[in-house]
Amino acid sequence: VLRDVILAWLGRADIRGASALIGWFRPTHGGIAWEPLAGRRALVTAGPTHEPVDPVRYLGNRSSGLQGYAIASALAALGARVTLVSGPVALADPAGVDVVRVETALEMERAVRAALPADIAVCAAAVADWRVDGVAGLKIKKQAGAPPPVLTLSPNPDLLAMLSAPGPERPALVVGFAAETDNVEANAVAKRTRKGCDWIVANDVSTGTNVMGGLDNRAILITRDGIEHWPLLAKTELARRLAERIAAWFEMPVMADGGDRV
Amino acid sequence: VLRDVILAWLGRADIRGASALIGWFRPTHGGIAWEPLAGRRALVTAGPTHEPVDPVRYLGNRSSGLQGYAIASALAALGARVTLVSGPVALADPAGVDVVRVETALEMERAVRAALPADIAVCAAAVADWRVDGVAGLKIKKQAGAPPPVLTLSPNPDLLAMLSAPGPERPALVVGFAAETDNVEANAVAKRTRKGCDWIVANDVSTGTNVMGGLDNRAILITRDGIEHWPLLAKTELARRLAERIAAWFEMPVMADGGDRV
């Protein structure tokens, strides 16, 4: 109904512009599903990775996967075909989403490559920057009198940079996340340029913010053209806003000079 | 009803011996609760500990907490007042159990001390043997060109040894767990002596056994007098057997010479 009102109001205006406007409203009005991302493929990563030290120990991080799962769900609700590559989390598969479960950053890299091509990539996983060298095949035992082991680390593949690199398989829109504990905005702006992604969703995950593992999130959306401070939102609501923003982006006309959409 | 039959059969035999026999049956018969541990206090630890590296990263292990939660529940079902000190897990509090949630081994140590005195201690938690030195207050950033960080470790307190040490607060029965990937039985027998605990429940947690994080468990029970190989059981069933075994132990007469019960 609202869609009809706006279309009527716009009269014979360009239908793509109208759709972009409608993109800011909820996906259903009067029970009619609105699926602006129908036909689009989306790849979402979520959760932590666990980097093994030995068969029982690992290096992990506090990502619950909630934000990424909510984004996968929100994109599917707008009609996208979604593959969710998930690290180890205690969440059920979202309805209507293909879920690929992995443990380590190397496994996540393989699963991400296998999920391409995609129109949209949202890298919400907290992929470990480093893995542990010389993973022990047997549990490392505490030895009386012996010093504790020292864990040396090696860099993991950078999935956001990989997906952002120019090439035939680059998704049209690559969205990264930045979990920061200091200088959130400046670090995130620098990260967008460094990684070559289109947007960055930046969060303050300092101790006490309760973002990692919590239900709410306060984000800063960084695009080529601007910085938006979003209010504190439930992660599901933040996901819906982001998904609708992504849908609207695909409705924007491509610049005649081949320039990028913002 | 079954209890009455057995009591009748035993005639005027020693009531404590009869109770010990009944200890092998299920806690309720004909809807009558059987609570041989009524008045006993039990302390159970469960789950992993997470040892922080920085505000978002930690060193963890694959314990799901299921076995410890099941044991706390089974002891409570037999009438014990149970305090469950739990590391970070994705499990709901068991009914009728006081749950204290902690993250690190040092926090678990404090919670365990606060839960004493207790008649029974079951250390099912996979407490990290080591914590990370020099925990960073801000998230460690990946720096272009800089080598990855090296994690040096320090020993954590040994909660099983602490609880097993002779003294006025030592629980009458201290049960430890041994998660092994090689020489399961020999390592567990040595662990019982080294720690000074009464019983060890030993598991093979090799990759592929699916014990850590799985629903089933195959245990070896090591006491002062013997080694019992238990079959593959659901963790809830293993917990019930262990709880009934603990109840039976308290029914055994103390040796006249002050010697230990086995």
Q: Which of A93-97, A111-115, B181-185, B239-243 bottoms out in mean pLDDT, i.e. has the lowest?
A: B181-185
Look at residue A252 and tell me whether its pLDDT is greater than 50: yes
Look at residue B19 and tell me whether its pLDDT is greater than 70: no
pLDDT for position B2: 57
B149 vs A contacts (CB less than 8 Å): 130, 153
Residue type, B162: M
Nearest-CA distance from B63 to chain A in Å? Answer: 8
> Tens digits of per-residue pLDDT, A171-196?
999 999 998 888 999 999 999 999 99
B61, B156, B203, B217: which is the annotated catalytic residue? B61
B129 vs A contacts (CB less than 8 Å): 142, 148
In this prediction, residue B18 has a pLDDT band, given cuts at 50, 70 and 90, of very low
pLDDT for position A227: 96
Look at residue A6 and tell me whether its pLDDT is greater than 80: no
Contact (CB, 8 A) for A104 and A49: yes
CB contact under 8 A, B56 and A90: no
pLDDT for position B31: 63
Interchain CB contact of A155 with B (< 8 Å): yes
Contact (CB, 8 A) for B42 and B118: yes
In this prediction, residue B34 has a pLDDT band, given cuts at 50, 70 and 90, of confident
For B21-46, what is the mean pLDDT?
Answer: 75
Of B57, B130, B150, the CB nearest to A61: B57
**Chain A to chain B, count of Cβ pairs less than 8 Å apart?**
101
CB contact under 8 A, A138 and B182: yes
pLDDT for position A151: 95
In this prediction, residue A19 has a pLDDT band, given cuts at 50, 70 and 90, of very low
pLDDT for position B250: 95
Instruction: Please state the φ and ψ torsions of residue B32, each to the nearest 5 degrees.
Output: -90, 120
Of B60, B90, B138, the CB nearest to A90: B90
Of A50, A142, A181, the CB nearest to B138: A181
CA B101 – CA B111 distance, rounded (Å): 9
Look at residue B127 and tell me whether its pLDDT is greater than 50: yes
How big, in percent rounded to 5, are the helix, strand and coil portions of chain B? 30, 25, 45
Interfacial B residues in 191-210 facing A (CB < 8 Å) = 205-207
Nearest-CA distance from A132 to chain B in Å? Answer: 10
Q: Which of A35-49, A77-91, B2-16, B51-65 bottoms out in mean pLDDT, i.e. has the lowest?
A: B2-16
For B159-176, what is the mean pLDDT?
Answer: 97
pLDDT for position A11: 44
Q: Rounded mean pLDDT of chain B?
A: 88
Look at residue B1 and tell me whether its pLDDT is greater than 80: no
Say how many C-beta atoms besides its own lie within 10 A of residue A12's C-beta: 7
Q: Answer yes or no: A210 catalytic.
A: no
- Closest-CA residue to A157 (of A124, A110, A192): A110
Interchain CB contact of A62 with B (< 8 Å): yes
Look at residue B71 and tell me whether its pLDDT is greater than 70: yes
A61, A156, A203, A217: which is the annotated catalytic residue? A61
For B157-176, what is the mean pLDDT?
Answer: 97
Look at residue A17 and tell me whether its pLDDT is greater than 90: no
Residue type, A166: P
Look at residue A253 and tell me whether its pLDDT is greater than 60: yes
Look at residue B178 and tell me whether its pLDDT is greater than 90: yes
In this prediction, residue A76 has a pLDDT band, given cuts at 50, 70 and 90, of very high
Interfacial B residues in 104-133 facing A (CB < 8 Å) = 126, 128-130
Look at residue A34 and tell me whether its pLDDT is greater than 90: no
Q: Rounded mean pLDDT of chain A?
A: 88
Interchain CB contact of B90 with A (< 8 Å): yes
Nearest-CA distance from A15 to chain B in Å? Answer: 45
Look at residue B258 and tell me whether its pLDDT is greater than 60: no
Interchain CB contact of B53 with A (< 8 Å): yes
* Local structure of A67: helix, strand or coil: helix
Q: Which CATH number fits domain A12-26+35-130+149-251: 3.40.50.880, 3.40.50.10300, 3.40.50.970, 1.25.40.10?
A: 3.40.50.10300
CB contact under 8 A, B61 and A56: yes
Look at residue A104 and tell me whether its pLDDT is greater than 60: yes
Percent of chain A surpassing pLDDT 70: 84
Residue in A closest to B180 by C-alpha: A139
Q: Tell which wins on pLDDT, B29 or A135.
A: A135
Cα distance from N-terminal residue to C-terminal residue, chain B: 30
For B146-166, what is the mean pLDDT?
Answer: 96
Pairing of strands A98-101, A199-204: unpaired
In this prediction, residue A7 has a pLDDT band, given cuts at 50, 70 and 90, of very low
Q: Which fold has domain B36-133+145-251?
A: Rossmann fold (3.40.50)
Domain residue limits, chain A: 12-26+35-130+149-251
Interchain CB contact of A134 with B (< 8 Å): no
CA A221 – CA A223 distance, rounded (Å): 7
Nearest-CA distance from A182 to chain B in Å? Answer: 7
Side-chain-side CA neighbours of A184 within 13 Å: the count stands at 20
> Tens digits of per-residue pLDDT, A114-166?
999 999 999 999 999 999 999 999 889 888 888 999 999 999 999 999 999 99
Containing A46, the helix (H) or strand (E) segment is: strand A41-46
pLDDT for position A28: 52
For B221-229, what is the mean pLDDT?
Answer: 94
In this prediction, residue A205 has a pLDDT band, given cuts at 50, 70 and 90, of confident
Look at residue A261 and tell me whether its pLDDT is greater than 50: yes
B154 vs A contacts (CB less than 8 Å): 148
B145 vs A contacts (CB less than 8 Å): none
CB contact under 8 A, A56 and B138: no
CB contact under 8 A, B138 and A60: no
Max Cα distance, chain A (Å)? 82
Percent of chain A surpassing pLDDT 90: 73
pLDDT for position B260: 61
Spatial neighbors of A230 by CB under 8 A, at least 6 apart, are A218, A219, A220, A221, A238, A241
A154 vs B contacts (CB less than 8 Å): 148
Percent of chain B surpassing pLDDT 70: 84
